[in-house]
Amino acid sequence: MTTPVPTWTWPEERLQALMNRARAGRALRPATWPSGARCAVTLSFDSDHDTFELRDGGRSISALSQGHFGARQGVPRIRALLARHAIPATFFVPAVTAIHYPDEQRALVADGHEIGLHGWIHERNTLLDFATERELQFRSADTLEVITGVRPVGIRTPSWDFSDNTLRISAEMGLLYDSSLMADVDCYELLLDGAPCGVTEIPVEWIRDDAAYLVMDRWGGLRPQIAPADILEIFRREFDAARAEGGLFQLTLHPDIIGHRSRLWILEELIDYIRGHADAWFATHEAAVRHVLAECR
Ligand SMILES: [Zn+2]
């Protein structure tokens, strides 16, 4: 049994300091999207691959092979699907994934996709001290740049685990955006200790994440509880509402999860559905944020 932290004894200033460490500021919903579109669609794929097992020192070859599936099967199927529809997307890639699968990252960049930061080895930021987190984040950016030839401008923290130092580090790096937080449906300004820091949030949500619905844990009780068709329905309703509001539809998927034969159709049908409206703008996270910042000065 864990010892409860006596937060009821903390002075209000301490609670406020934590809440204000990295907080949502001004909402950033542009009046218009490019080419007269009514809404923006930003698809993202987190290429965790083998790092999910490696990060905790796991030695399960079976679990590693499941991650390997993401590289062998998931990414190629996703690349082909995106190419068929001429859709740009963002892939958030741990540096260790990029080192193990450099050709994959170069091919994605050649296809016109964006590569963003996703930790060194999918480490959990809230377990790290400031110096370690900072060193890993800078080294990850350097590594991705050497491999792809492009310096990443955005970050998605691994497992969306965002420490009270993460924003400070991202601001110091001069990153354009983060995509790990959940305070809004539209992009928003991030405040570091109450002041703008130059980093824009493009928000995520577990509701719009395939892992929340489809992951199982062999040694735990976690099993998928929802049919693929129902996942499509949730994603469709999220898109419908974003379009009705003239806002942003952001989606997080994983090559080793969505890339299976019985699941990739969810993405294909979703794209067909969105394309059926003819007024949605597909963009990388970077392009969406740059547009939002240009419109919301
Ligand atoms: Zn991840």
**Model's pTM, two decimal places?**
0.97
**Dist. CA 260–CA 145, nearest whole Å:** 30
pLDDT band at 203 (very low <50, low <70, confident <90, very high): very high
Question: Mean of the per-residue pLDDT values for the chain?
Answer: 96
pLDDT of the residue at 195: 97
97 C-alpha to center of ligand 1: Å? Answer: 11
Decide if pLDDT at 218 tops 90.
Answer: no
DSSP per residue over 137-175, as a string? HHHHHHHHHHHHSS---EE--GGG---TTHHHHHHHHT-
pLDDT tens track for 79-135: 999 999 999 999 999 999 999 999 999 999 999 999 999 999 999 999 999 999 999
Closest to 138 (Cα-Cα) out of 166, 114, 101, 100: 166
Residue 1 pLDDT > 70? no
CA distance 259 to 93: 16
Instruction: Compute the distance from residue 64 Cα to the ligand 1 centre, in Å.
Output: 14
Number of Cβ within a 10 Å radius of residue 69: 18
* Cα-to-centroid distance, 263 and ligand 1 (Å): 18
pLDDT at position 297: 83
Q: How far is the CA of 12 from the centre of ligand 1 (A)?
A: 34
Pair 78, 255: CB distance under 8 Å: yes
Q: Which residue, 182, 159, 244, is CA-closest to 24?
A: 182
Q: Average the pLDDT over 207-235 and give the result.
A: 94
CA of 109 to the centre of ligand 1 (A): 19
The 3-class SS string of 178-227 reads: ECCCCCCCCEEEEEECCEEEEEEECCCCHHHECHHHHCCCCCCCCCCCCC
pLDDT at 4: 84
Cβ-based neighbour number of residue 279 at 10 Å: 12
Distance 29 CA to ligand 1 centre (A): 27
When pLDDT is averaged across residues 198-221 and rounded to a whole number, the result is 95
Compute the distance from residue 192 Cα to the ligand 1 centre, in Å.
24
> For 5-41, how does the pLDDT look when each residue is reduced to its tens digit (9 = 90+)?
899 999 999 999 999 999 999 999 999 999 999 999 9
CA of 119 relative to ligand 1 center, distance in Å:
8
Q: How many CB atoms neighbour CB 81 within 10 A? A: 17
Say which amino acid occupies 197.
Answer: C
Question: Rg for the chain (alpha carbons), in Å?
Answer: 19
Q: For residue 276, how far is its CA from the centre of ligand 1 (angstroms)?
A: 30
Residue written as token pair 């741990």: 94
Q: How far is the CA of 47 from the centre of ligand 1 (A)?
A: 7
How is residue 283 written in tokens? 């963009």
- 2 has pLDDT over 90: no
Q: 3-class SS at 102? A: helix
Give the CA angle between residues 100, 103, 105 to the nearest 5°.
85
Residues 246-266 pLDDT 10s: 999 999 999 999 999 999 999
**Ligand 1: distance of its center to the CA of 157 in Å?**
8
| Residue 156 tokens, joined | 């998605």
The pLDDT of 61-65, averaged and rounded, is: 94
> pLDDT tens-digit profile of 128-155?
999 999 999 999 999 999 999 999 999 9
